[in-house]
Structure 1
């Protein structure tokens, strides 16, 4: 591994650390929260569990009742190409998600 490669990895890890150190804000969108939590847990099941334990809910597909989040909802948000999330966060999370998805 070259010094340049090490420096690139350090820079990426510093960026990840900056996102992890930043608390969830009241005005963060649900997608931003999902992305931040995925960066922390790197697991869609753990993210959906955290969302449910912290009182986050959503409307079902036909908008008739409030339901809890499931791992598929988290995956859907991360796979969504049009999701409104800060670009650097989106790029890191999508790379992690794709890396983990290759094992299934």
Structure 2
């Protein structure tokens, strides 16, 4: 029992010395993680790649194991889509059409 207590104490001391557990930030009932991208084009490439990988996994599916992995990739892509910015692009397009900027 004392050996376990000592090991636990050492583990806790190490965790406090080195700033572990910094990736995930509490967010209500879940956690969030930051993803750094250089621009919207890079974000678009990432989402496109996630979706293409999911499609490939599902097209080559034979064992039944790819479906959960593909679903994780699709969920990631869905979370990365810049929905508010898409509304702005729709508005910019509408203004362009109304003012014959095409």
TM range, normalised to the smaller chain? under 0.3
Q: Which one has the largest radius of gyration?
A: 2
**Taking structure 1 as the reference length, what is the TM-score of the superposition?**
0.27
**Taking structure 2 as the reference length, what is the TM-score of the superposition?**
0.27
